Amino acid sequence: MREDYQRVYAKINLDAVMENTAHMKANISKETKIMAVIKTDGYGHGAVPIASELENADHIYGFATATAEEALILRKAGIKKPILILGYTFPYSYERLIEEDVRMTVFREDTLKELSEVATKLQEKGNDRTAKIHIKVDTGMSRIGVRPDGEGLAFVKKALSEKGVEVEGIFTHFARADESDKSPAYAQLAGFTEFLLRIEKETGHRIPVRHCSNSAGIVEIPEANLDVVRAGIILYGLWPSDEVSQNIIPLKPVLSLYSHVIYVKEINKGDSVSYGGTYTADGPVKVATIPVGYGDGYPRGLSGKGYVLIHGKRAPVLGRICMDQFMVDVSGIDGVKEGDLVTMVGKDGANEITIEELSKLSGGFNYELACNLGKRIPRVYIKSGKVLCTKDYYRDF
């Protein structure tokens, strides 16, 4: 690896992203397409290289982000497929988003009105774009969305008649699809599909892009394959929860994380390691220092609990993780020396550390651990076994 990436780097396997989506596609209906959810910079993996990789795949409908900025960065990178902002979008960005043909999620009347005004003004200036929207329906999250009731129906009718606004899609979101008891998810799905029927019956209009499923639904709720499914965590080869079966869709983790040993020494009985002296040696211990810490997003919750792989063997974390460094016990591993490769996430020999395992050890959550991998970690993108490109926040600015 590049000398300047020896401190730490994340390897992002783009082939694994493609394989994961192909396996998903094989598990859903023929007519259903996949919306790749790449919010929070692709769950920490890097949204632009992943979208560029997926852009030309037939089974990919388009992309979903959480914010306007995340959507615009994709357009700037040349992504042409549909992009949907899943959250509330603030009015300052409506004009840019309409010009860039970015779809917005809408559930408030004031948004409808403002989008209509902005789109109409753009049309008067000779721009033929409409504001494409997906209506959000709240069937159980109580987060955003109109309720699937009479008021919700009135909202949909209003949206359908709003000048300059095109209702391209309608969707809802599961709150509990990742649990083994699927009855709350099925109740949400039933509420949503009934609402869709009612809309069709009362307006004579079928909203073309209807979607409901997230990762857990893609794996385990085939009935929720509508026109599109929204794949987040499974794109990255990570699991929505322990309760979701790992035998239905084979997934490969996309990210691995590496560093190198920068110091090796022996400590003696009674010597403590790191802040607070939470670990004290009860005999001679060989300690290796690793130049990565919670400032990189490596969880402090792994203090005294995590481990890394060196020479394919497990080296447990000693004492607290610092902001920029931590120490591991290499007493049981032969010949560890400065410069040796450290695997923090990924495979080394017969052993593997997953993000799921680290999040469990640290008392955290796999989604959060991936999202929190910080800007100090350069990302190296691998395609067909070769480095395709790198993303290095400190170099790019």
Among 33, 132, 173, 210, binds ligand PLP (CB under 6 A): 173
Nearest residue to ligand PLP, by Cβ distance, number only: 232
**Min CB(213)–ligand PLP separation in Å:** 8
Query: How many residues form the binding site for ligand PLP (CB under 6 A)?
Result: 11
- Which among 282, 322, 275, 324 has a CA at the least distance from the CA of 302? 322
| Amino acid, res. 256 | S
The yes or no reply on residue 172 touching ligand PLP (CB under 6 A) is no
Backbone phi and psi for residue 148, each to the nearest 5 degrees, phi listed first: -80, 60
- Write the DSSP assignment of 224-276 as a string of letters: G--SEEEE-GGGGT--S-TTS-SSSS-----EEEEEE--EEEEE-TT-EESGG
CB of 85 to ligand PLP, least distance (A): 10
**Residues 39, 132, 182, 391: which is the catalytic one?**
39
Q: Which of 252, 265, 269, 275 is catalytic?
A: 275
Tokens of 112: 């409808």
- Shortest distance, CB of residue 240 to ligand PLP, whole angstroms? 5
Cβ distance 235 to 36 under 8 Å? yes
One residue of 32, 52, 139, 215 binding ligand PLP per CB under 6 A: 215
Q: Which of residues 229-288 bind ligand PLP (CB under 6 A)?
A: 230-233, 240
What does 131-174 look like in DSSP terms, one character per residue?
EEEEEEB-SS--SSSB-SSHHHHHHHHHHHH-TTEEEEEEE---
**DSSP one-letter code for 340:** -
Query: Can you tell me the distance from the alpha carbon of 369 to that of 356, in angstroms, rounded to the nearest whole number?
Result: 9
Binding to ligand PLP by residue 20, rule CB under 6 A? no
Which letter, b or e, does each residue of 123-157 get, where b requires 16 or more Cβ atoms within 10 Å of its Cβ? eeeeeeebbbbbbbbbbbeeebbbbbeeebbebbe
Binding test (CB under 6 A) with ligand PLP, winner from 116, 139, 214, 359: 214
SS3 (DSSP) at 101: coil
Binding flag, residue 164, ligand PLP (CB under 6 A): no
CB of 273 to ligand PLP, least distance (A): 37
Residue 103 touching ligand PLP (CB under 6 A): no
Choose one: 54-62, 196-204, 227-235, 246-254; the region binding ligand PLP (CB under 6 A): 227-235
- In angstroms, rounded to a whole number, what is the distance separating the alpha carbons of residues 139 and 164? 28
Helix (H) or strand (E) holding 12: strand 8-13
Residues paired with residue 35 on neighbouring β-strands, in sequence order: 62, 230
Choice between 39 and 260, CB closer to ligand PLP: 39
For the bound state, the minimum distance from the C-beta of residue 233 to ligand PLP, rounded and expressed in Å, comes to 4
Considering only residues 37 through 56, tell me which ones interact with ligand PLP, judged by CB under 6 A: 37, 39
Which region, judged by CB under 6 A, interacts with ligand PLP, from 226-234, 267-275, 303-311, 380-388?
Answer: 226-234
Tell me whether residue 275 is one of the annotated catalytic residues: yes
Which positions are annotated as active-site residues?
A: 39, 275
> Which residues of this chain interact with ligand PLP, rule CB under 6 A?
37, 39, 86, 173, 214-215, 230-233, 240
